[in-house]
Structure 1
Amino acid sequence: MTKRTILITGAAGFVGHHMVEHILKNTDFNIIGIDSLSYSGSLDRLRDIQIDPFHHPRFTHMGYDFRQPAGPNLIRELASVTHVLHMGAESHVDRSIADPMSFVMANVVGTTNMLELARGLPQMELFIYFSTDEVFGPVPLDPAYPGHQETAVHSPKNPYAATKSSGEQMVTAFANTYGIPCIITRQMNIFGERQHPEKFIPKVIRSVLSGAVVPIHATPDKTQAGMRHYIHARNVADAHMFLLEKRPWIGNACGHVESYHIVGEREVDNLQLALMIERFVRDLAPASGLKVAGLCYEMVDFHSSRPGHDLRYALDGRKMKALGWQPPKNFEESLKKTVQWSLENPGWLSNP
Structure 2
Amino acid sequence: MGTRVLLTGGLGFIGSHTVEHWLRNTDWEIIVMDALRFSGRIERLTDIECYNPDRVKVVWHDLRSPIHNQLKETIGPVDYIVNMASDSHVDRSITHPVPFVQNNVNLSLNMLEYAREVQPEKFIQISTDEVYGPAPHGHSHVEGEVLRPSNPYSASKAAQEMIAFSYWRTFGVPLIITNTMNNFGERQHPEKYVPMVMKRILHQEEIEVHGKQRPDGEWDIGARVWLHARNHADAVQFILKNVPIKYYDDDTPEPERFNIAGEREINNLEIVEMIGAILECPPLYKLVDFHTSRPGHDLRYSLDGTKLKEYGWNAPMTLEESFDKTINWTMKHTEWLTE
TM-score of the superposed pair, with normalisation by structure 2: 0.94
Distance 1:218 1:135, change over 3 A: same
* 1:104 aligns with one of 101, 110, 132: 101
Say whether 1:131 aligns with 2:124: no
Asked if 1:328 corresponds to 2:328, the answer is: no
Q: Is the 8 A contact 1:175 1:255 kept in 2?
A: no
2-side partners of 1:42 and 1:81: how far apart?
24
Aligned partner (choices 36, 43, 56) of residue 59 of structure 1: 56
Matched with 2:279 is: 281
User: 2:20 is aligned with what amino acid?
Assistant: E
In the alignment, is residue 81 of structure 1 matched against residue 74 of structure 2? no
**Aligned twin of 1:315:** 303
Q: 1:227 aligns with which of 217, 223, 226?
A: 223
Do the aligned partners of 1:261 and 1:320 also contact (CA within 8 Å) in 2? yes
Q: Which residue of 2 aligns with 1:257?
A: 255
Q: Secondary structure at the match of 1:321?
A: helix
Query: Does the 8 A contact of 1:172 with 1:255 survive in 2?
Result: no
On the 8 A contact 2:246/2:256 being kept in 1, the answer is: no
Query: Please, which of 171, 175, 188 is the counterpart of residue 164 of structure 2?
Result: 171
CA distance in 2, matches of 1:10, 1:261: 20
- Cα offset, 1:325, TM superposition: 1.1
Residue 238 (structure 2) aligned to one of 239, 242, 253 = 242
> Which consecutive unaligned segments of at least 5 residues does structure 2 have?
none
Distance 1:257 1:306 in 2: 34
Question: Distance in 2 between the 1:264 and 1:135 partners?
Answer: 17
Aligned partner (choices 158, 176, 199) of residue 183 of structure 1 = 176
Q: Please tell me the residue identity of whatever aligns with 1:154.
A: L
Q: Which runs of 5+ in 1 are unaligned?
A: 283-291
Change (3 A) 1:218 1:193: same
CA distance in 1, matches of 2:76, 2:181: 33
Partner of 2:203: 210
Q: Note if contact 2:168-2:247 (Cα within 8 Å) is conserved in structure 1.
A: no
Give the C-alpha shift of residue 101 in structure 1. Answer: 1.6
SS at match of 2:226: strand
TM-score (norm: length of structure 1): 0.91
Contact 1:220-1:304 within 8 A present in 2 as well:
no
Partner AA of 2:263 in structure 1: E
Identity level (%) = 43
Secondary structure at the counterpart of residue 297 of structure 1: strand
- AA at the equivalent of 1:320: L
SS in 1 for 2:144: coil
What is the letter of the counterpart of residue 307 of structure 2?
K
Tell whether the 8 Å contact from 2:131 to 2:157 is kept in structure 1 after alignment.
yes
Alpha-carbon offset, residue 51 of structure 1 = 6.3
